Chains A and B, each alone.
Chain A
Amino acid sequence: MISVQNLHKKFGAFHAVDGATLEIATGSITGLIGPNGAGKTTLFNVIAGRLPASCGKVLMAGEDITGLPPHELFHKGLLRTFQIAHEFGSMTVRENLMMVPENQAGETLWNTWFGRGRVAEEERRIRDKADEVLEFLTITHLADEKASNISGGQKKLLELGRTMMVDAKIVFLDEVGAGVNRTLLNTIGDAIVRLNKERGYTFCVIEHDMDFIARLCDPVICMAEGKVLAQGTVDEVKNDERVIEAYLGTGLKNKVKSNA
């Protein structure tokens, strides 16, 4: 589905992503782990067109998508969530979700005046869809709340909800479970599996919670200092010498050990 080839991203002289090469197989839930500052988010930002690559290539189903702007990638079915949740603060939670489907008829001035019927009908459909997603995420009661007022964890759910509004092909989730309680985390895990099984979404999931990763992901890719260290099943990666070293080196020894 996605093939990243020798990707580099420099911030000044600093190599945030340093020649990463990896594959995300169609239909997989690929985990992406690595110590803080490993360059995971930066990798997402480059793949998803938010930052330009310094060099290297990103292919989607064989097609070169390097440097395409985010809305065009969206059109191709590539979606992502943000590590730090983003929201349209002045709109309600439901309106936030309703923004998502692209090419809505109501988005042109012409239809605003002359296509009222079509716009209204489409809006009803999208609204139903949004309500469905809210129910799925168990946040129906927040539908009419202003998005700037909901909690950090709830914003994470909203991020996930956004990816469910359309039929995506591949979704990049950046720590969608961080700051979310256990029960909700399980709900999110279930949602990911269901979307993967029922709707054929391919996922790439950044997560620090190893239980979560172990439950969902195969394969798992580990990054450190901008490079891909290891790739394989959870156990293979967890027991990989270089991976343990990378975590030890940054003082996260306990994190790995406790989960091992």
Chain B
Amino acid sequence: MDILNAIVAFTNFVFIPATAYGAQLALGALGATLVYGILRFSNFAQGDTMAFGTMATIYGTWGLQAMGVSFGPLPTALLALPFGILVTVGLLLATDFSVYRFYRKQKVAPTILVIVSLGVMFVMNGITRIMIGVEEQNFTDGERFVFTAREFKEWSGLNEGMALKTTQAVTIVTAVLVVAWLFWFLQKTRTGKSMRAFSDNEDLALLSGINPNHVVRVTWILVAILATIAGVLYGLDKSFKPFTYFQLLLPIFAAAVVGGLGNPLGAIAGGFVVAYSEVFVTYAWKKVIGYLVPADMAPDGLVQLMSTDYKLAVSFIILIIVLLFMPTGLFKGKSG
């Protein structure tokens, strides 16, 4: 029995990575949930918006690097973020102007908008791949670790090491700041209140003189900000590959639905539920259990519930269970 080592191993291999991943999903899901709450459709292009924003930020990063600019121990990409966000805002506003506005005017059913967003997704997907290619891009620079496993071992005297990657720390700090800012924005500012009013009761919002065009525009701007930040954090933490981002759509929607579509608080909770579930069932628990049980009872196998190849299945199962038993999600959302 070695509880301390078990806790350290758990923190290192499960808790920290899952928390960082959860924060990335939460930001992605926030974007999806805003679109659902205000424009009233599930935006299939969310994953590819993240990919596009990340791609733009990567170009910004390369530009800065070429100019010899760096951000000390932090990734240069953080400096390029504003650029990536601006480009993405431009793209989303242009998309809204040229595509969604047309359908909004016709007052089409939400299902039609979902299919429209599927088309937008393919186009964005194509733009990103044409501009940066389909291969994996690693754009993380700066210090790799806040502290390494070896440093931790020396400091603690334990067998088990624990490391905190800079990207994980950056992810968590950024996510906390962005979410705090978003909630302040939605709760306190007049613009945020118009958005909430619009999401609450569109009919009344219109009759109260709230300009729907403003609300829609601000929504897309927020979505661009959230999606780009989420995408860049994910890319820094793992790596950037357009296809992976497309696949993120599933966990993101699972997160948004678990929390209750249209509910920002729910999107955050959902992000962590999905991330923890995914990491829990795909992690090989052999090591942690080995510390907790007497040596002769230590498991021979990996004690892994599911291969990481199937991690998307976790989101899928969560999605199905929630839709079957709790269609409005943990926090009351608008679906169901």
Q: Select which of B189, B206, B209, B210 is within 8 A of A112 by beta carbon.
A: B189
Quick one: given A104-B190, A107-B194, are A99 and B208 in contact (CB under 8 Å)? yes
Quick one: given A87-B204, A112-B190, are A102 and B210 in contact (CB under 8 Å)? yes
Check A109 against B208 for contact (C-beta < 8 Å): no
Nearest-Cβ distance from residue B169 to partner chain A, whole angstroms: 28
**Looking at chain A's contact residues, is the secondary structure mostly helix, strand, loop, or mixed?**
loop
Bound-state CA distance A69–B206 (Å) is 8
Query: Does any Cβ of A come within 8 Å of B126's Cβ?
Result: no
Query: Which A residues touch B221, using CB under 8 A?
Result: 109
- Give the total of A residues in contact with B, Cβ under 8 Å: 33
Query: Does any Cβ of B come within 8 Å of A240's Cβ?
Result: no
Nearest-Cβ distance from residue B333 to partner chain A, whole angstroms: 13
Query: Does any Cβ of A come within 8 Å of B143's Cβ?
Result: no
Query: Does any Cβ of A come within 8 Å of B98's Cβ?
Result: no
Interface residues of A (CB under 8 A from B): 48, 50, 69-71, 74-75, 79-80, 82, 86-91, 95, 99-109, 112, 119, 123, 162, 166
Check B191 against A108 for contact (C-beta < 8 Å): yes
Name which residue of chain B comes closest to A162, CB basis. Answer: B208
Name which residue of chain A comes closest to B217, CB basis. Answer: A109
Bound-state CA distance A253–B319 (Å) is 56
Query: Does any Cβ of A come within 8 Å of B177's Cβ?
Result: no
Interface residues of B (CB under 8 A from A): 185, 189-191, 193-194, 196-197, 200-201, 203-212, 214, 218, 221
Quick one: given A88-B196, A90-B196, A107-B214, are A102 and B209 in contact (CB under 8 Å)? yes
Nearest-Cβ distance from residue A36 to partner chain B, whole angstroms: 22
Q: B193, B194, B203, B212 — which one has the most chain A CB atoms within 10 A of its CB?
A: B193
Query: Which B residues touch A103, using CB under 8 A?
Result: 209, 211
Bound-state CA distance A102–B205 (Å) is 11
Query: Which A residues touch B201, using CB under 8 A?
Result: 86-89
How many residue pairs, one in A and one in B, have C-beta atoms under 8 Å apart? 82
Check B218 against A109 for contact (C-beta < 8 Å): yes
Check A74 against B189 for contact (C-beta < 8 Å): no
Name which residue of chain B comes closest to A119, CB basis. Answer: B190
23 A-B residue pairs with CB within 8 Å: A50-B203, A69-B212, A71-B206, A71-B211, A79-B207, A80-B207, A87-B201, A88-B196, A88-B204, A90-B200, A91-B193, A99-B193, A99-B208, A99-B210, A100-B209, A107-B190, A107-B214, A109-B191, A109-B221, A112-B189, A112-B191, A119-B190, A123-B190
Nearest-Cβ distance from residue A60 to partner chain B, whole angstroms: 16
Bound-state CA distance A198–B231 (Å) is 57
Check B206 against A70 for contact (C-beta < 8 Å): yes
Bound-state CA distance A119–B190 (Å) is 8
Nearest-Cβ distance from residue A51 to partner chain B, whole angstroms: 10
Check B209 against A95 for contact (C-beta < 8 Å): no
